[in-house]
Amino acid sequence: MLARPFAVARTAAAASLAAAAAPYSSTTCSRRLEITNIISNSAWGSARSASTVSQRLSNSRRCRSTDSAQQQRRSLTTVVREDASDRETITRLLYSLASRKEVERYLRIFSAANKFAVLKVGGAILTHQLDELALSLSFLHRVGLYPVVVHGAGPQLNEILEREGVNPDYIDGIRITDAKTLQVARKVFLEENMRLVEKLESLGSRARPIPLGTFTADYLDKEKYGLVGKIYSVDKEPIESAIRAGCLPILTSLAETPDGQILNVNADVAASELSKVLEPLKIVYLNEKGGLFHGKTKELLETINLDEEYDDLMKQEWVKYGTKLKLREMKELLDHLPRSSSVAIISVDQLQKELFTDSGAGTLIRRGYKLYKHSDIEAAGAERLRSILKENDEEVRSGRKTVAQFFSELSKTPYTIYGDEPGDVVAFVAHPSGQQVPILTKLVSTKNGVLNSVTDNVWSLIKRDHKRLIWTGRADDENRAWHYERADGSFTRNGRSLFYYGIQDVAEVERVLREVETSGRIERAYLPLHATRPASSATGTRGLHTSARALSRSCSTPFRAASGRRGYATAVEKSGPLPGETTEKKRVALIGARGYTGQALVSLLDKHPYLSLSHVSSRELAGRKLEGYNKEEVRYSNIGVEDLRKLEAGKGDSAPPDAYIMALPNGVCKPFVDAVLQGSKERAGKNRAKVVDLSADYRFEKDWTYGLPELYSRQAIRDATLISNPGCYATNTQALIAPLLPYLDLSCPPTVFGVSGYSGAGTKAAPSGGSSGGGASKTVPKIAPEDLAGGVRPYSLTDHIHEREASRHLSKLLGAGHAEDALQVAFIPAVAPWFQGILSTVSAPLSKKLTAKDVRALFEEYYAKDDLVQVGLQVPEVKDISLTHGIKIGGFQVHSSGKRVVAVAALDNLLKGAATQCLQNLNIALGYEELAGIPLD
């Protein structure tokens, strides 16, 4: 994928092993708490079951308590394996932030870097966000990364000084430091340093305090500033020693003179001087604002490319005082560092997103590159272009076309060459005169071009010049996601994908493509078979794909787009039956049948007219008869990963099923999915089985289709092999918000309060002696009514996985001009003492006035053809939807201002929130009528 500049990292295999094998002290017990906290903290992903990890850690603690040499050696081996497993678990959590490829790519880059990152932490964060900071740092430590932390303590110091009657004084933003101030400062710095170290240690991540000994300084100006230092030397050894020992180095910004006098140094300055010596990939400044903001529009400045923008920025009227100083300091710092280094200014809660996703967070500042454009090969440097193409262009390297051939073809029409001065990226755009659409004939990038986002800069220059564009690429290109994100539409034919932007109408797409094909500007293989309505595909590899940007919604006509249907890209095709529905009998394997959702699926499949169960997997119940399934006798079997691969490859004792339902806990599904995919490859020439995953593991993956038929593409589900089943809360939330999207005030996002029955917490095995039925294991709720004492218990009050899930997918419905995360839903869940059923209430600020009648009409029209959604006047209650298969929405009320709407939705979390929705997706994917086997009463 072509990405933001690769930012940060530090770890080597030896360092990781050292960290894994390092001795454990009293922190061992807290490792379980730390893993559990991180796994349950949905800022980094879905709630993951920590029982296995906790048990493993408990076992290793008992092993380490023994004295024999043999047992100690075994213990060390266990610890190494456990830590590797812990890293694997936490790495999987990162997949919920971004695609797996993004995360793994950044981890590879970070692991290969000489130094990882320097993090400057403000004193206010240590006061107000210590827990969040420690969890973030512990998270990085667990995946084998070692950021160097430099912290300040300004607010704490001011508070103590003011309490003692000393007024802090500054000149040019520098604190005047006398002996009294320095005495207090030293005490405060040491205390704050130890607070952070102890917090990290309590989470099981080893940290080493380095309050002094790193920075050597002279007096900045003793007469003017007092005991303030100017760093002239940085000793790396204490830092590298800490990392070699598997510890996070935690530094203060105190410096010393050669004769031992302690001097105060601004923490930003200390971080800058440290970075010049370490040359990290990333310098991260953590602050409460979360970035730099435009002085007039107040919008976040997401990216600043200094080589291109610095001079103009410094001339802007709104760039003054602190902003101007900050930009000047950042430029001075980056001018001393390799171009691969960058600065990020972010908030604590965005650290993982900044480090492991292409979209990043906060403000990214980099040197960038000077760009050029030429309309002549010689002006761009023929030999340089020839060298770039020979080394980096697949078509030229494979011998399918020579550079001379390409130059000859390019010269037949007017063209523009775009690139950067170092020659890391070059793009060729052919643009014949008249109304013909320009074609991007080649876009070639070196590794440096990708790492430093030069490709994105060149792309921005191309988009400025061309309002419409067509380009092509291999369908199996590992960077295809980059192309999909920049296209309004695409389709794939014969292993090649064609992308376009700026062409809004499907008929216009057909006309343009026939025109360029006739003129020989693209191969015939790219044209679609026939004109068809837009069919958005989550995978982007089937049929004709038209994105939300290509079918933008007009505020003046909120219900009709040019096609005469709803203006959302997915809504164009969401209603009505799909063609070619079948009644052929097919078989399903249920992997992970325990738990309430598994039981509900068994009951539904028992009554399905066409589907039958071929396999039911449960390690604990292996050999026992499956209760509640009466079509035929089916017994539980223990299907491991290798068994699953053999089954799908046709090497097992029975024929492969037509579909797999993964009903496994969050975080453990991947090896089973990989086994199915591997088995499918081995069974070459046969249709691949469909996979529906009920966990949260793949709801953010671009290679998976998100299966919520009432809102998103049914055709995409029909075409998909891999389908992620939405979360129960996320289903209810999206159903409540989708019809309101064209009227929402996006600057003040909607809030949803959801209350679920305790079945939503899942099940656990009964304690010893709790079995019944011939020894069959019995499951009980993880949370029971008595645990709630008859009340409601809120939990995961921010960053719940379903909050991000709903926000991400609803943002795709907004249309042109909106970012991927344009809508940020606020979601607050709670668990209640009833068994099953979810009640969700939305409070949504509006951008224009509506009446309650208008809102109800919106919902009625939106869901007019969806049999599982009922819209009514009354507020739905849990009793209305318990044991039913649909969603009920009602209770529409609008605030007296006309600018805030409240509505309520209810669904059964085990059925429409899980099992029923799974069966809908399975029916569509296998070619059945969508509601086959689903009772409508």
Distance CA 521, CA 519 (A): 6
> Hey, what are 688's tokens?
């691949």
What is the pLDDT at residue 164?
79
What is the pLDDT at residue 103?
67
Phi, psi of 833 (to 5 degrees): -85, 20
Phi, psi of 173 (to 5 degrees): 80, 0
Q: Count of CB atoms within 10 A of residue 587's CB?
A: 16
- Residues 803 and 696: beta-carbon distance below 8 Å: no
CATH of 369-467, one of 3.20.20.70, 3.40.630.30, 1.10.443.10, 3.40.50.11890: 3.40.630.30
Distance CA 231, CA 321 (A): 24
Phi, psi of 830 (to 5 degrees): -150, 155
- Residues 471 and 440: beta-carbon distance below 8 Å: yes
Q: Which residues contact 288 (CB under 8 A, 6 or more apart)?
A: 122, 124, 125, 128, 129, 347
Look up the pTM and report it: 0.44
Mean pLDDT split into 10-residue runs, the chain, 937 residues: 31 31 34 36 33 36 40 39 50 55 66 76 90 88 88 88 78 84 92 94 92 94 92 93 93 94 93 92 88 83 82 84 79 86 88 74 81 88 89 86 88 90 89 81 82 78 88 74 79 74 73 67 44 32 29 26 25 41 88 80 92 89 87 90 90 87 87 91 77 91 92 90 93 94 90 86 47 42 63 81 88 76 88 88 93 91 90 90 92 90 94 93 92 84
- Residues 759 and 910: beta-carbon distance below 8 Å: yes
918 is catalytic: no
Domain with CATH 3.40.1160.10 in the chain: 100-366
Burial status of residue 822 (CB atoms within 10 A of its CB: 0-12, 13-18, 19 or more): middle
Distance CA 636, CA 612 (A): 15
CATH of 100-366, one of 2.10.109.10, 3.40.50.2300, 3.40.1160.10, 3.40.50.10310: 3.40.1160.10
The active-site residue out of 29, 247, 669, 728 is: 728
Domain with CATH 3.40.630.30 in the chain: 369-467
Q: Determine the topology of domain 728-911 in CATH.
A: Dihydrodipicolinate Reductase; domain 2 (3.30.360)
Phi, psi of 426 (to 5 degrees): -140, 140
What is the pLDDT at residue 534?
33
The angle subtended at Cα 892 by Cα 887 and Cα 893, nearest 5°, is 155
What is the pLDDT at residue 113?
59
Domain with CATH 3.30.360.10 in the chain: 728-911
